[in-house]
Structure 1
């Protein structure tokens, strides 16, 4: 039978059990590997293993009696990320028996090591998101190639983090009915489209206001990820910064001018906070450093057809004459122009219909109601 040694995220039992599929009869024991160390991968929520001096000891789990199906599932989960199995000898705890096994090593030069890895820190910050992401990954087992999963993985992780936030953030019911997920019965679900974005379809019934369950209906939604919306405002100069870029939504709708004026916006990466994302997106799209972030009400822009959820901010910052320019992430084919304009000009653009992006309009109206107070206390 097969055996493997795990030192990182797969030491988290909920993740390991999910990847194995819940039917494995393997044996799991604490173990350690000498002359090796695990480090966080720089700018990533997972570790890497590397050789070290003889005094180093890397703790983890030895998983024995793995079936060929178990190994196939594990290889699928790890395979798209340029990991390969290498032979090692580990010491099983607590009796000290030496066992020949294998461990996943990253391709040389693939990652840059950071600080020493901590499983407990990872579990606290990334555990729930990673288990959620693994559900979508393993749904592709036997249907999607591992390298394709690797290409999709940043958005898979973004969607997973969105689902975790949806479960854990406050959800008051002072006016709306006190129904919850237990009042929805999902009969089946599928993804008729899954690439960078996905479409999900569900056959379900839901509790009606009468208390009875509805008939089973077929519904679908565009599955994006949570996003930040940022309108930079200089209260001293009374200026805002808006960006302009080509957009596929207007293009597919048939808009004769599919270049839109918008606020800074972008997906919240897996493991990122909305505030961190706002600052990152401002730097990427407009080369702009933000001061204070003022959080507006998070919201669904189109709940009838989309999972997208927005975290909007007014961002106080310095907007001198030379703050406008060209930005965007070249590797993502972004071509973004920023405009620094007086606040009154923004309202004129909204009134004329030239600025017709919903999140920009909402942020501008909030700013119109609170702008004088921000200028007085800046």
Structure 2
């Protein structure tokens, strides 16, 4: 059985992740069709356009299991495999093509594989193994519903693979953790995973397998706008279900602007986007505070915290938030001293805000001197 791919599966690492093996392909084309980004998506679609030519690759000699893997990967996104005549260097041939179901996806601008690889390629490849691990456990449509959240995890894996400092701690590496089993009993916006695994002990021996549960979350950013001329900050306040579930009546938290890092986004880009959404602010220079796991015992979330030098005139505070996300966010424009009073009295009770406030307390003299210099 032959398949013609025109989009993301033209990327060899992704095709290998979906098939479970490396695969050799040949160039091919589908006449009278064009490939465009799917409107609102991080992937392409193909649609009829008279006189156009859709470039792609042809894959030959697939097993039934490999066809099932392709159908699982594509099926959840409402793409159906249809036979079409494909042009190849060896002449015309018939191959299956995944075409979008009518009326579900709509074309946007022209799609180019190198653009997609640069922005999403590594994240999508990192996500494919999670996607394919669910084959046989849940229907593809159920996986596709969560794909956005899964892609944020893939992006986190790409960032986590970057070199890290390990001058004192154990550096880890291949063979240092052995996974016996992994399952996902709950998965929606967040997920809970149960792992059975063993890890290298400080004695040098592998320990016995242990059961561990992890609350899986996306990487996220926090950013505190600071005006060094006026010496004031903007905090945001909103209801938080975590304190409420703990039994805290004061479930409204004073925080820095925060949000998850979307697929195809850098942490700094996420910080700037969230500042517009949560406070209507355009940030100036962004200064890194720290990168860290807020609760590594059971939570996968990794935070990038910043302070942003920002013009904060009177009237900068207000009520903000995305209505479609049921956000109800109030901004507070306060002096630096007032913020530190809130820290001292315990009215600020979340880790990222405390860490950022203490960083700003240390760096404030330098930032003010630089801002006030002629």
TM-score, structure 2 normalization: 0.92
> Given the alignment of the two structures, is residue 312 of structure 1 paired with residue 296 of structure 2, yes or no?
no
C-alpha distance in structure 1 between counterparts of 2:137 and 2:67, whole Å: 17
C-alpha distance in structure 1 between counterparts of 2:179 and 2:351, whole Å: 32
Instruction: Tell me by how many angstroms 1:88 deviates.
Output: 2.9
- Counterpart contact for 1:83–1:107, Cα < 8 Å: no
Residue 135 of structure 2: aligned partner:
141
> Given the alignment of the two structures, is residue 34 of structure 1 paired with residue 31 of structure 2, yes or no?
yes
- What whole-Å deviation, never above 9, does each CA across 1:87-111 have from its counterpart, x for those lacking one? 432112x222243543323544633
Structure 2: tracts of 5 or more residues without a match: none
Residue 157 of structure 2: aligned partner:
163
Task: Please say which of residues 357-366 and 215-224 is displaced more in the overlay.
Answer: 215-224
Structure 1: tracts of 5 or more residues without a match: none
- Counterpart contact for 2:152–2:218, Cα < 8 Å: yes
Task: Please say which of residues 252-261 and 201-210 is displaced more in the overlay.
Answer: 201-210
CA separation of 1:70/1:226 partners in 2, compared to 1, >3 Å: closer, same or farther? same
SS at match of 1:296: strand
Instruction: Tell me by how many angstroms 1:294 deviates.
Output: 0.5
TM-score, structure 1 normalization: 0.91
CA separation of 1:43/1:312 partners in 2, compared to 1, >3 Å: closer, same or farther? farther
Residue 222 of structure 1: aligned partner:
215
CA separation of 1:343/1:200 partners in 2, compared to 1, >3 Å: closer, same or farther? same
C-alpha distance in structure 1 between counterparts of 2:150 and 2:168, whole Å: 34
Instruction: Tell me by how many angstroms 1:226 deviates.
Output: 0.7
> Given the alignment of the two structures, is residue 153 of structure 1 paired with residue 147 of structure 2, yes or no?
yes
C-alpha distance in structure 2 between counterparts of 1:251 and 1:174, whole Å: 40
Match of 2:73 among 64, 68, 77: 77
- Counterpart contact for 2:4–2:95, Cα < 8 Å: no
- Counterpart contact for 1:40–1:48, Cα < 8 Å: yes
Written as runs of structure 1 = structure 2, the 5 A alignment for 1:46-195 is 46-54=43-51, 56-92=52-88, 94-99=89-94, 101-105=96-100, 107-108=102-103, 110-114=105-109, 116-167=110-161, 169-195=162-188
SS at match of 2:315: helix
C-alpha distance in structure 1 between counterparts of 2:201 and 2:95, whole Å: 59
Instruction: Tell me by how many angstroms 1:361 deviates.
Output: 0.7
C-alpha distance in structure 2 between counterparts of 1:209 and 1:65, whole Å: 49
SS at match of 2:364: helix
SS at match of 1:272: coil
C-alpha distance in structure 1 between counterparts of 2:40 and 2:187, whole Å: 26
C-alpha distance in structure 1 between counterparts of 2:35 and 2:94, whole Å: 20
CA separation of 1:309/1:15 partners in 2, compared to 1, >3 Å: closer, same or farther? same
